[in-house]
Amino acid sequence: MARGPTFLLEKAFVGGPVCGVDEAGRGPWAGPVSAAAVILNPKRIPKGLDDSKKLSAKTREALEVEIKGKALAWCVAFASVEEIAALNILHAAGLAMRRAVEGLSLAPAFALVDGNYRFDLPCEVKTVVGGDGKSKSIAAASILAKVARDRLMVEMDGLYPGYGFASHKGYHAEVHVEALQRLGPCAIHRTGWSPVKLVLAGEPLKQAALGFED
């Protein structure tokens, strides 16, 4: 059995280009959710594609350059903190995915989407649970989405200093817990998230956050 993602799912579709779609940033307490869509060139697939969470930041950044240089088409899109609040995180992620697919320079006939939720995209959709470990196209999308969001959160660290966004990217971390209690939420915190709501309500976050799962 092959280890890591393959191109078999892509080859199973006949009738037009196949894009892989994935998101990054569903779990953080702050920042937007990102999504990417990628149509790989079957003759120029970068080596080392895998679930972005399994790769180091340095490897992801190197693969980002290679993916963008070799893919037939790619696009990264976001859904804002305000859109997350209005739609909920699932549908905000779907909105970012739709924006990414619609932004491709080559219209796909099929989309392989990581997960089990069939989002409304402008092409036929096949969901793939654990897709970033099974499909090279989804793995490529997961890398682009992750790198783009991480880069944005580093920028946000400069705009909203003191929270440590450059290190934890808005996720649960001790420095984030401490900063939230000391500074209160900033403009990019997700006010619907339990830890942020607790701080806004004047509740002690440290104890409540100890068992919190992103």
Q: What is the largest CA-CA distance in the chain?
A: 57
CA 44 to chain centre: 24
Cβ count within 10 A of residue 181:
16
pLDDT digit of tens for each residue in the chain (214 aa)? 457 899 999 999 988 999 999 999 999 999 999 999 999 999 999 999 999 999 999 999 999 999 999 999 999 999 999 999 999 999 999 999 999 999 999 999 999 999 999 999 999 999 999 999 999 999 999 999 999 999 999 999 999 999 999 999 999 999 999 999 999 999 999 999 999 999 998 888 764 444 444 3
Three-class DSSP category at 156: helix
For residue 21, what are the β-bridge partners? 37, 113
Please name the helix (run of DSSP H) or strand (run of DSSP E) that holds residue 35, with its range, or none: strand 33-39
Inter-helix orientation angle 136-159/57-70, to 10°: 120
